[in-house]
Amino acid sequence: MDRQTWVGSILAVITTQKERVQGGAPIFIVDNLDELEKLSFTLEKILDAEVHALNQETYIVVRHG
């Protein structure tokens, strides 16, 4: 797919539910919601990209524009 048509790209997925995610982006499985928050925070800073919550258990890190 032409990258220029993407509005944002998913750089990472962090989740407590490993059976519900799969795909091309790096996936980080965590044990609990605290770890979800901490890991997402770290990844946000490292990747300089935004963390969005798909639901309570799954966050994605997205690079916009």
Partner 1 sequence: MGTYTWAVILGLFYGFLSRLTMLKTDFRQYPTYHHGKVIHLSLGFIAAALGALAVPALLEKNYTAVTFLALAAQQFRDVRNMERETLSRLDQNELVPRGSAYIENIAMIFESRNYIVIFTALLVSLVTISIEKTWGTVWGTLLGFISGGLLLLINQKMLCAYHVEDLADVTVGHVDVHQADIWVDGIYIMNVGLKANQEIIKARAVGIVIHPHDLTAQVTLSNLGQRQAILHDASTILGVYRDTGEPALVPLIKRNLTDGRIGVFLLPEEKDVEKARRVVAKVAILESALRLPMKASARRRAL
CB of 34 to partner 1, least distance (A): 10
Find the helix or strand (DSSP H, E) in which 12 lies. Answer: strand 8-15
Measured from the CB atom, is 18 or 64 closer to partner 1? 64
Q: What residues between 5 and 64 interact with partner 1 by CB under 8 A?
A: 37, 40-41, 44-45, 48-53, 56, 59-60, 64
Question: What Å distances lie between residue 63 and 17, 19, 51, CA to CA?
Answer: 23, 25, 9
- 28, 13 Cβ separation under 8 angstroms: yes
Q: How far is the CB of 18 from partner 1 (least distance, A)?
A: 18
Start-to-end C-alpha separation, the chain = 16
List residues near partner 1 by CB under 8 A: 37, 40-41, 44-45, 48-53, 56, 59-60, 64
